[in-house]
């Protein structure tokens, strides 16, 4: 099985953010749009929490673009070979955002430590 490349994204809208016209098609090529979607969704939740309306607007537009190509199959943000028991637990404990993006993860915006 071919492993997709990892996409490292700086979502800092103040610095201009990533080049979405380049990044989104690259994510789609390797079926990573759901992973990108949850990461952007988490960033949008953080931006909402800190009151950054400019970031919320920009990230919401990206989410709308990604939503049109959302995949149905479950994926993870980490290991390809996640044990079945862990996968089952995380599937039951995931947030509405993770469920929407079909990502098996319990990561939530409140748990992100580097948010000011």
Tell me the pTM: 0.82
Cα–Cα distance for residue pair 48/106, rounded to 1 Å: 20
Reported as a pLDDT band with limits 50, 70 and 90, residue 78 is: confident
Which pairs count as long-range contacts for 17-23, CB under 8 Å and 24+ apart, including other chains?
17/58, 20/62, 20/65
How many other CB atoms are there within 10 angstroms of residue 64's CB atom? 9
| Residue 6 clears pLDDT 50, i.e. is over it | no
Distances from the Cα of 16 to the Cα of 29, 61, 72, angstroms: 24, 15, 31
Condensed to tens digits (0 to 9), the pLDDT of residues 19-69 reads 899 999 999 999 999 999 999 999 899 889 888 898 899 999 999 999 999
């Amino acid at each position: 099985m071919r492993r997709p490349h990892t996409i490292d994204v700086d979502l800092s809208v103040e610095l201009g953010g990533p080049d979405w016209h380049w990044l989104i098609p690259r994510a789609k090529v390797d079926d990573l749009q759901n992973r990108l979607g949850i990461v952007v969704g988490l960033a949008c939740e953080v931006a909402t929490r800190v009151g950054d309306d400019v970031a919320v607007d920009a990230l919401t537009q990206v989410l709308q673009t990604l939503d049109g190509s959302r995949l149905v199959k479950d994926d993870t943000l980490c290991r390809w070979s996640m044990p079945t028991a862990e996968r089952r637990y995380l599937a039951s404990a995931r947030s509405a955002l993770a469920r929407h993006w079909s990502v098996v993860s319990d990561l939530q915006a409140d748990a992100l430590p580097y948010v000011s």
